[in-house]
């Protein structure tokens, strides 16, 4: 027992004894007196505890007070369920939207990559010094030279593609990365079971005639039951024998913008039946590269070393490397270059929404505090310090803030499901977004910050109107502050409209851009068209002639299907993510190889244009008679004709694109037709110049089937494609069987995602700003009921009263819209650079948005004022005067 | 709340300070004195009295000392500090304003 407790006991003992003595003196029997005294003392322990708590330290005390006030605040909220519901819901919308967007920002931009020292990893690209900003993959010989630079601790090259897999259950297509044997070392990630690649395993047949493969955890489980069971097993990939040497940890992904089932080395690309293998062609740019900077080396130093080496290569290999430069792009920037500005714009937009929500809640708190002025004044008069009253107010804000954040987290969780599902595949790591610890801290921070913001408004108001007097003085002071308070609310409403206009303008710009993009004519007719990829394994179809023969027979079979109107095949088809580029020469005006322009190539079968709905404008289509041995021909698109064949007859012109499948060099081809342009990479990129070449003259082992189905018979057509391929070779899997419309749709996905999100936030901002304006106007009308009553009694027309109220509200909104418009104008420059890559054929200063947003907002403001205005006009003058 | 003789915290502080302004007293005597002077209207519960005393002591408005009491036993006597005396003056002034204001309101509210 402490001295303090002993003192307490002694003091209470004395008190009881003194009380008993008093009763004894009044004639009560001593024992009875003692009993009564003890009874009067009540539950001793209870008030001992209270007394003790008064003696405790100030910190514990303060905490206890805050706790008590918080409990009081919660009880107060329960007693005002309407106020509580509106305030908490408003805040939940604001905090929920912010938390959801921040979850994405955290997953995509802030979370470190799951590799060793990820900040030292960079992508290495080659560029063409004639086209600043260009970015292309490396050739294997260039990669081999560049990795020697001492500033690099390691370098790895990789490319991704689909492979047919057999020998491990049912034949299937798997997504595979072909990588240099250094990849996992550079990333600093080990296999979970077995091992990653060893040095030398990117040479063919390094494991006693077999090649090494590393499986993902998911594929190992689905094919062999467990990761451990997969190690050491044999599989056949693209007709070649492999041994699984290891399985990566669950969740491991590389490259991060793709989803690999397994990793092989570039070994198979080192051998070729015709001409030099891919790995020996310095002009073939097909490998992406990731490098790890050596310890202590800054990126500029590494870039300088790479530059020196590139210059030497340019002199040494004039034909291929004359205009080569290199560029290092940090890992994060490489994946987020276009998504980062969008996410930051979205974050800014939800920030505006939260501010608007905060103002509304502040208004609610203010109105509530006003109704309770009497209570506060009495409390202050009874000895509650100003600090205590402020603490009570802040506790209420805190309670609202925390409850709002709690509800906001629930909303954010739901919103995240939608975000991840709707999000375009281009946002790397989007699917990793969740309510992670940093996100929870963010939400809590928002709750505290917003509580402080909207809690301070009534608190400051209270302080301002407090003049140290009692109830009467407070009442006097209040009359004086009503006017200034009203002015202040007006400024806040104007600010809400300014913020809402900013978000709305941004949303309209994106929406306009989206409608432009939707309206783009892609140059083909996607409706009822199905595409499917078919790859022939080299091992069973070794020669180009085999490939040509297979696809010829396959198309013959498909043409006989009643569900299929027309059919062809091509590599690539528009929006498939594939592209073939090569340089070309014109015998009529030859150029040295280094100076030859580059063009896109389409290798197609007869019937492709028809099936895809690409119009033949001049000349003729390819036929089955155009084969290896017959005259070498080509078809060009309009963009090609415009750019390279201006002033010629076009038809009959001779071109020599750098592409061949048979020995004897690249043949010179005669142009026999002109077709319409097609958007190839995405809908927002202009149609590139293209040369089409008949598949029979340059047979590819992998083509994309294009079948135009009879309308309504899409399912039958899909079944027919499957049957036809399997009927010819049961071991050839069909993959990516999907409607062409789906490719168009996913090409629209990023723009739609951006417009949808910003549009949603703009709608939220609009709604909240309208509610804010409505609340202020309704309150103003209620306060001025007497004045309005007098006006009506003196003969004012109802129309004039309506006009009076509307004018006041619209002046407020107009002020905000005006300020917001100037702000948007200024900000659009920032927005333009941020969204440049995300806008199609629309300027950030889009006149439609800059004019439409204020109009839309003004009409919303009008609607928000109309109801209070009508109510004011409908007031009964006698009743409203009697009220006072 | 509800009992007519319940004292609100701020008021009790004022009453204690006022009582101690006359002479130092122990807890029991303070309660007794308030009861007597108010004509038995105000009854100070011990459950409020001692916490109030300790609070005032912590705020250095009163100070407690063990001394011999009228019964011969040791009791804790409380006396006003200079700060307590100043506080009493401001509280009294404030009380006058408040009671006048409440009076105004209450009397005006008569139908």
Summarize pLDDT for A289-310 with one digit per residue, the tens: 999 999 999 999 999 999 999 9
Q: SS in 3 state form for A275-341? A: CCCHHHCCCCCCEEEEEEECCCCCHHHHHHHHHHHHHHHHHHCHHHHCCEEEEEEEHHHHHHCCHHH
Helix (H, G, I), strand (E, B) or coil at A584: strand
| Alpha-carbon span A31 to A459, nearest angstrom | 56
Contacts of B46 in chain A (CB under 8 A): 15, 40-42, 47
Best of B69, B101, B103, B108 to mutate (most A CBs within 10 Å, chain A): B101
Residue A615 has pLDDT above 90, yes or no: yes
User: Which of A92-106, A261-275, A453-467, A641-655 has the least mean pLDDT?
Assistant: A453-467
Write the residue in A381, A383, A469 that is nearest to B13 by C-beta: A383
Residue A468 has pLDDT above 80, yes or no: no
What's the whole-number mean pLDDT along residues A862-868? 89
| Alpha-carbon span A461 to A105, nearest angstrom | 37
Contacts of B11 in chain A (CB under 8 A): 382-383
Question: Is B3 contained in some domain?
Answer: no
Nearest CA in chain A to B67: A11
What CA–CA distances, in Å, run from A301 to A120, A290, A328? 13, 17, 11
Q: Which of A480-489, A490-499, A607-616 has the highest mean pLDDT?
A: A607-616
Q: What is the pLDDT of residues A795-804, one digit of tens each?
A: 888 888 888 8
What's the whole-number mean pLDDT along residues A174-184? 94
pLDDT of residue B111: 45
Q: Are strands A702-709 and A152-166 parallel, antiparallel or unpaired?
A: unpaired
pLDDT of residue A882: 67
Question: Is B95 contained in some domain?
Answer: yes
Contact B10 A382 (CB under 8 A): yes
pLDDT of residue A51: 61
Domain of residue B74 covers 9-108
What's the whole-number mean pLDDT along residues A575-580? 85
Based on C-alpha coordinates, what's the Rg of chain B? 16
H helix or E strand, kind and range, residue A342: helix A339-371
Backbone phi and psi for residue A711, each to the nearest 5 degrees, phi listed first: -50, 130
User: Which of A221-225, A880-884, B45-49, B57-61 has the least mean pLDDT?
Assistant: A880-884
Q: Is A7 on the interface with B (CB under 8 A)?
A: yes
Backbone phi and psi for residue A679, each to the nearest 5 degrees, phi listed first: -70, 120
Nearest CA in chain B to A52: B51
| Alpha-carbon span A85 to A404, nearest angstrom | 9
Q: What is the pLDDT of residues A706-726, one digit of tens each?
A: 999 999 999 999 999 999 998
Residue A43 has pLDDT above 90, yes or no: no
| Alpha-carbon span A527 to A744, nearest angstrom | 10
Backbone phi and psi for residue A213, each to the nearest 5 degrees, phi listed first: -135, 145
Q: Using 50, 70 and 90 to split pLDDT, how confident is the model at A467?
A: very low
Q: Total domain count for chain B?
A: 1
Q: Which CATH number do you get for residue B73? A: 1.10.10.10
| Alpha-carbon span B6 to A515, nearest angstrom | 72
pLDDT of residue A329: 93
Between the two ends of chain B, the Cα-to-Cα distance in Å is 26
Orientation angle between helical segments A714-728 and A544-559, nearest 10 degrees: 140
Orientation angle between helical segments A740-783 and A785-793, nearest 10 degrees: 70
Best of B7, B47, B69, B78 to mutate (most A CBs within 10 Å, chain A): B47
Q: Is A385 on the interface with B (CB under 8 A)?
A: no
Contacts of B17 in chain A (CB under 8 A): none
Question: Is B4 contained in some domain?
Answer: no
What CA–CA distances, in Å, run from A37 to A32, A152, B31? 9, 89, 14
H helix or E strand, kind and range, residue B80: strand B74-80
Q: What is the pLDDT of residues B34-73, one digit of tens each?
A: 888 888 777 777 777 887 888 888 888 999 889 888 888 8
The better pLDDT of the pair A703, B59 is held by A703
Contact B10 A14 (CB under 8 A): no
Contact B69 A17 (CB under 8 A): no
Q: Could you give the ipTM of this predicted complex? A: 0.84
Nearest CA in chain B to A7: B76
Contacts of B47 in chain A (CB under 8 A): 42, 46-47, 50
Nearest CA in chain A to B91: A383
Contacts of B69 in chain A (CB under 8 A): 14, 18
pLDDT of residue A881: 64
| Torsion angle defined by CA atoms of residues A140, A146, A152 and A153, in that order, rounded to the nearest 10 degrees | 40
Q: What is the pLDDT of residues A531-545, one digit of tens each?
A: 999 888 777 888 888
Q: Average pLDDT of chain A?
A: 87
Q: Which residues of B touch A (CB under 8 A)?
A: 8-11, 13-14, 26-28, 32, 45-47, 50-52, 54-55, 58, 69, 71, 73-76, 91, 94, 97-98, 100-102, 104-105
The better pLDDT of the pair A702, B44 is held by A702
Write the residue in B26, B46, B94 that is nearest to A41 by C-beta: B46
Question: Is B42 contained in some domain?
Answer: yes
Q: What is the pLDDT of residues A347-385, one digit of tens each?
A: 999 999 999 999 899 888 888 887 777 777 777 666 667
Asked whether A655 and A669 are in contact (CB, 8 A), the reply is yes
Write the residue in B28, B91, B97 that is nearest to A18 by C-beta: B28
Q: Using 50, 70 and 90 to split pLDDT, how confident is the model at A496?
A: very high
Q: Are strands A654-657 and A633-637 parallel, antiparallel or unpaired?
A: unpaired
Residues facing residue A804 across a β-bridge: none
Question: Is B93 contained in some domain?
Answer: yes
Contact A15 B46 (CB under 8 A): yes
Contacts of B90 in chain A (CB under 8 A): none
Q: Which of A599, A800, A564 is nearest to A705 (CA)?
A: A564
Q: Which of A429, A555, A338, A480 is nearest to A108 (CA)?
A: A429
pLDDT of residue A47: 58
Question: Is B54 contained in some domain?
Answer: yes
Quote the minimal CA–CA distance from A794 to chain B in Å.
31
User: Domain segments of chain A: what residues?
Assistant: 1-55, 57-116+336-466, 131-322, 480-521+747-884, 541-730
| Alpha-carbon span A647 to A88, nearest angstrom | 70
With a threshold of 0.80, does the pTM exceed it?
no
pLDDT of residue B6: 44
Question: Please, which residues 31-70 of chain A have a Cβ atom closer than 8 Å to chain B?
Answer: 40-42, 46-47, 50-51, 53-55
Q: Is A470 on the interface with B (CB under 8 A)?
A: yes
Which DSSP symbol is given to A106? I
Q: Is A382 on the interface with B (CB under 8 A)?
A: yes
pLDDT of residue A48: 64
| Alpha-carbon span A707 to A607, nearest angstrom | 9
Contacts of B54 in chain A (CB under 8 A): 51, 54-55
Q: Is A742 on the interface with B (CB under 8 A)?
A: no
Residue A49 has pLDDT above 90, yes or no: no
pLDDT of residue B96: 86
Contact B75 A14 (CB under 8 A): yes
Contact A383 B11 (CB under 8 A): yes
Contact B104 A51 (CB under 8 A): no
Contacts of A384 in chain B (CB under 8 A): 10
pLDDT of residue A52: 63
| Alpha-carbon span A123 to A134, nearest angstrom | 14
Residue A274 has pLDDT above 70, yes or no: no
pLDDT of residue A783: 78
What's the whole-number mean pLDDT along residues A115-144? 89
What's the whole-number mean pLDDT along residues A665-686? 93
Contact A382 B13 (CB under 8 A): no
Q: What is the pLDDT of residues A399-448, one digit of tens each?
A: 999 999 999 999 999 999 999 888 888 889 998 999 999 999 999 999 99
Asked whether A857 and A766 are in contact (CB, 8 A), the reply is yes
Residue A483 has pLDDT above 70, yes or no: no
Quote the minimal CA–CA distance from B24 to chain A in Å.
15
Nearest CA in chain B to A43: B47
Only one residue has tokens 């509106």, namely A86
């Amino acid at each position: 027992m402490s001295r303090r407790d002993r003192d307490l006991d002694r003091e209470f003992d004395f008190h009881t004894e003194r009380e008993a003595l008093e009763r004894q003196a009044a004639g009560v029997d001593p024992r009875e007196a003692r009993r009564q005294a003890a009874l009067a003392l009540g539950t001793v322990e209870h008030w001992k505890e209270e007394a003790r708590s008064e003696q405790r330290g100030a910190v514990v005390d303060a905490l206890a007070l805050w706790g008590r006030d918080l409990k009081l605040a919660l009880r107060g909220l329960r007693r005002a369920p309407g106020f509580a519901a509106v305030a908490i819901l408003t805040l939940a919308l604001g905090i929920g939207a912010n938390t959801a967007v921040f979850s994405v920002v955290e997953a995509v931009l802030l979370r470190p990559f799951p590799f060793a020292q990820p900040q030292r990893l960079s992508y290495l690209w080659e560029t063409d010094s004639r086209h600043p900003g260009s970015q292309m993959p490396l050739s294997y010989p260039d990669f081999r030279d560049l990795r020697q630079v001492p500033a690099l601790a390691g370098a790895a090259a990789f490319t991704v593609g689909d492979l047919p897999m057999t020998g491990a259950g049912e034949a299937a297509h798997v997504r595979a990365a072909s990588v240099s044997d250094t990849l996992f070392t550079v990333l600093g990630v080990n296999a979970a079971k077995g091992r990653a690649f060893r040095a030398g395993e990117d040479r063919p047949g390094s494991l006693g005639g077999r090649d090494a493969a590393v499986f993902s955890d998911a594929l190992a489980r689905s094919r062999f039951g467990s990761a451990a069971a997969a190690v050491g097993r044999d599989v056949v990939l693209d007709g070649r024998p492999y041994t699984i040497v290891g399985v990566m940890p669950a969740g491991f992904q590389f490259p991060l913008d793709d989803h690999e089932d397994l990793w092989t080395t570039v070994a198979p690309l080192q051998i070729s039946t015709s001409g030099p293998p891919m790995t020996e062609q310095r002009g073939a740019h097909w490998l992406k590269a990731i490098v790890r900077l050596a310890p202590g080396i800054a990126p500029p130093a590494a870039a300088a070393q790479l530059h020196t080496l590139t210059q030497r290569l340019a002199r040494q290999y004039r034909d291929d490397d004359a205009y080569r430069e290199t560029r290092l792009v940090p890992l994060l920037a490489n994946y987020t270059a276009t998504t980062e500005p969008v996410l930051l714009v979205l974050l800014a937009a939800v920030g505006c929404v939260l501010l608007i929500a905060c103002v509304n809640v502040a208004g609610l708190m203010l109105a509530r505090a006003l109704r309770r002025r009497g209570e506060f004044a009495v409390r202050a008069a009874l000895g509650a310090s100003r600090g205590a009253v402020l603490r009570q107010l802040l506790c209420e804000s805190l309670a609202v803030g925390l409850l709002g954040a709690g509800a906001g987290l629930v909303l954010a969780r739901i919103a995240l499901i939608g975000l991840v599902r709707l999000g375009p595949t281009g946002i790397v790591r989007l699917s990793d977004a969740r309510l992670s610890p940093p996100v929870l801290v963010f939400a809590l921070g928002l709750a505290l910050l917003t509580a402080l913001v909207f809690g301070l408004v009534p608190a400051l108001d209270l302080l301002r109107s407090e003049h140290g007097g009692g109830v009467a003085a407070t009442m006097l002071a209040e009359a004086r502050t009503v006017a200034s308070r009203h002015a202040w609310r007006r400024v806040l409403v104007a600010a809400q409209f300014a913020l809402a206009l900013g978000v709305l303008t941004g949303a309209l710009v994106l929406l306009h851009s989206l409608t432009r993009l939707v309206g783009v004519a892609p140059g083909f007719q996607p409706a009822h068209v199905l595409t499917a990829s078919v790859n022939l394994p080299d091992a069973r179809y070794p020669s180009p002639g085999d490939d040509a023969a297979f696809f010829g027979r396959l198309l013959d079979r498909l043409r006989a299907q009643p569900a299929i109107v027309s059919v062809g095949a091509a590599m690539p088809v528009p929006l498939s993510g594939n592209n073939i580029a090569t340089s070309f020469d014109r015998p009529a005006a030859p150029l040295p190889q280094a100076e030859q322009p580059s063009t896109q190539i389409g290798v197609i079968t007869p019937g492709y244009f028809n099936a895809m709905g690409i119009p033949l404008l001049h000349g003729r289509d390819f036929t089955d008679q155009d084969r290896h041995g017959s005259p070498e021909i080509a078809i060009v698109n309009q963009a090609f004709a415009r750019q390279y064949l201006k002033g010629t007859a076009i038809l009959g012109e001779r071109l020599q694109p750098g592409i061949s499948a048979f020995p004897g060099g690249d043949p010179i081809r005669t142009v026999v037709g002109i077709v319409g342009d097609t958007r190839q990479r995405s809908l927002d990129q202009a149609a590139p110049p293209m040369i089409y070449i008949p598949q029979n003259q340059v047979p590819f082992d992998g083509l994309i089937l294009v079948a135009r189905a009879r309308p309504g018979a899409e399912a039958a057509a899909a079944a027919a494609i499957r049957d036809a391929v399997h009927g010819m070779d049961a071991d050839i899997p069909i993959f990516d069987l999907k409607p062409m419309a789906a490719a168009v749709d996913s090409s629209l996905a990023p723009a739609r995602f951006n417009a949808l999100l910003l549009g949603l936030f703009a709608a939220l901002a609009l709604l909240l700003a309208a509610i804010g304006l409505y609340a202020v106007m309704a309150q103003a009308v209620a306060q001025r009921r007497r004045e309005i009553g007098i006006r009506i009694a003196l003969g004012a027309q109802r129309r004039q009263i309506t006009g009076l109220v509307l004018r006041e509200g619209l002046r407020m909104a107009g002020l905000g819209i005006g300020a917001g418009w100037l702000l948007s104008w200024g900000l659009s420059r920032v927005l333009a650079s941020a969204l440049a890559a995300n806008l199609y054929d629309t300027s950030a200063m889009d006149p439609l948005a800059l004019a439409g947003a204020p109009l839309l907002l003004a009409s919303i403001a009008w609607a928000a004022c109309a109801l209070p205005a009508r109510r004011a006009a409908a007031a009964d003058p006698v009743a409203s005067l009697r009220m006072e | 709340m509800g009992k007519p003789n319940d004292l609100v915290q701020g008021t009790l502080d004022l009453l204690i300070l006022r009582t101690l302004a006359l002479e130092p007293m122990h807890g029991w005597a303070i309660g007794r004195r308030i009861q007597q002077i108010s004509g038995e209207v105000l009854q100070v519960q011990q459950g409020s009295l001692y916490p109030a005393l300790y609070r005032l002591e912590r705020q250095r408005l009163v100070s407690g000392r063990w001394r011999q009491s009228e019964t011969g036993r040791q009791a804790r006597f409380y006396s006003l500090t200079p700060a307590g005396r100043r506080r009493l003056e401001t509280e009294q002034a404030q009380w006058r304003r408040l009671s006048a204001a409440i009076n105004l309101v209450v009397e005006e509210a008569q139908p």
